[in-house]
Structure 1
């Protein structure tokens, strides 16, 4: 029985390696496609870079041949990285491999991401192949960066869509990115390598890397000072969707919340990054709820209570939903309840935190 399993594994590995050889890209073929049809992106399509290929097609080699010429010098490196990434990825994603499923079952049992050491995969090497190029980032930045293409290239899809909808935040964010792009690329590469190491370069870890990427104060400021900041787009970026919904319904808590965000954005970013660190470490939701960073804040309770207390929003924030609906249908108990709550807000916040921690014991 054991010998049959070993022979099956040997045949499986031989079949996989032969398939990998067939999938390897040839530098000679890449150059043959690059000249002259590379100006339409065919060399990128040959390398399975379909997004880049179609972009080259519609921009004549990314701005009338600039990207095409750059690729002529960089093609050996691009082919090498493509083959290395494809080889490592095939070792991680073997849909018919018994060992693949066994490893996944072990991961589920231990609640930890596997490094796929059984498959001979090096997590650091796999992550290094996904590093972003500063030269390519600048090519995307000018001039189509005003539509957020440089952000999309760096996998900052949320920021890319915001730029697309606001013309690079009316050009201001686009210009700022022009000066800050070296540091943005460096932060992106460092963050991606760290996040993938934390997740062991597992399938789930690679898929959810953007969710685990640390938030930056620079991007948070760009989103907050954006007119869309009034409807809470900065809170969506920071992983606070309920705040974004509250801002949408009340125009930034009648501008009070939006103005307060301008002064306390550094604190909000630090809090978001602290939560992301807990996610990276594999902390369970029950353990996360015990952390102090999840405590209700008195300042935020006041931000919800002063402009929107008659709708009970401070009670919704504190998890006192019965009182929230009561205030909503009675206009804050005819405004008298709001005045009382403003005086005793610190006590309400302390009680809410004690109840929350007690419920997860």
Structure 2
């Protein structure tokens, strides 16, 4: 099964436990044998050996290694060598067993240290481990060196394989992170190019037609005789205001900047109802407060789409907007009208889908549909 390098934090080779557990078992067995041999003959050496053994066992623990790790194990192996030297002194009469005591530190040297610091530390370990061969009879020294040499090569090979495996995983992790960063950059570039394309299309198409409509309405107002009825003049003036607002919003969207006005959301909704001549009322609950512009703009778009759909699908029916600031960290908008929408397809459905996606991107909730009471309700909620 392939390894997912992003599923959990990248492990450190120092966290390898199986190898160290096996070496600690062998080390403990050696300590036991030496302790048995010193029990009858060297009680003082035995006490010194046991104290050093317990100290070294603490140094081998993951907690001790974690303490030295931020300093790149500066002094860690020096302390181990000092304790091992004390253990060698205490185990003089059982020196033919002590070579196994140096295998855990050998594994840690290869796994923990940077490549430049390995040779000198490794030679020190070899010297200390080979020194007891001078303390035992010559007929046993050859067997001692052969046993230690073969164990040394085996332990060093396993430790190096562990280090290489962790190095390969680290390189794979870094390559994956770079690839993901490049992918994110390519995605952002593609999104920016698509936004630029849409901005050009809007500028050359929709904005052109809105500008033409604005000019025509303005010309129509100029050509109206003074005796024209006030409702006709008022309708044309409202249409002109709507076109002007649409042009301003288009310019803001194309320029990707925040609109110049800094009007609170309740006032913006009141202005929306007034300019659109919607049969709607707005109720505000709780003390009004400001939220992030992206949040207020999203709720404004929800109200705008809901009012437009209500007038299109349920003309003449009253529309109620409720803006709720009661929750400490939330803001909630509810738009309802007395008659359910007659259609769930077309521009209205697309607009509701777009609003749902916008709210989800901001971490909010969105719901639109008919309730049991027969009302059609649009509900949006966002957190600060």
What TM-score results when the alignment is normalised by the length of structure 2?
Answer: 0.24
**Per chain length, whose mean CA-contact separation is higher, i.e. which structure has more relative contact order (CA < 8 Å, sep 6+)?**
2
**More strand as a share of residues:** 2
TM-score (norm 1): 0.25
